[in-house]
Copies of this chain bind each other. A is one copy, B any other.
Amino acid sequence: MKRVAPRKSSAATARERLASWISARGLKATRQRDLIVDTFFSQTGHLSVDELLDKVTARDPSIGAATVYRTMKILTDAGLASARHFEGGQTRYEAALDRHHHDHLICTSCGSILEFENERIEELQDRVAEQHGFAVTHHKLELYGLCKRCQEKDEYFRKRFPDPR
């Protein structure tokens, strides 16, 4: 019989880590924090505070936006989430539990986000920084354009409704 090693859900792990991070600096555990963290880690992808707030208030309508903002800040400081500032104004958060660094491909039509890693690019970046005497702490590489699906959609419409001119 095949056995899968018992594996804690990432939400559970995150809650534990957050707990120690919180008590380590005299903060306090609260019901709303737990609910927000739980909700956040049960999602995947890159959530805006708005989107997260929606899911959270679905579970407990009394929770306010400010608390979600505050909690995501804590999660970020604790290294359990990372904040991304893509084009379009609002901050998006993604889980950062034992995750490698990675960059993003962002579809400007449907908003979908793909992730990728590329060691060669990272190396070249380091070299560039070195050449300029820069000590890099973090970086941002984002490729914007049309995802495959949106390209196909585009093509389809162009065929059916050719540019009248």
Contacts and interface: CB of A to CB of B under 8 A. Distances in A.
Interface of A: 85, 87, 105, 107-108, 114, 116, 118, 120-121, 124-125, 128-129, 132-148, 151
A105 B129 CA distance: 7
A143 B129 contact: yes
B144 A140 contact: yes
A140 B125 CA distance: 13
- 7 nearest A-B residue pairs (beta carbon): A133-B148, A136-B145, A137-B145, A139-B143, A140-B142, A135-B146, A135-B145
Given A139-B144, A140-B140, A116 B133 contact: no
Contacts of A151: 133, 135
Contacts of A138: 144-145
A22 to B, nearest CB: 24
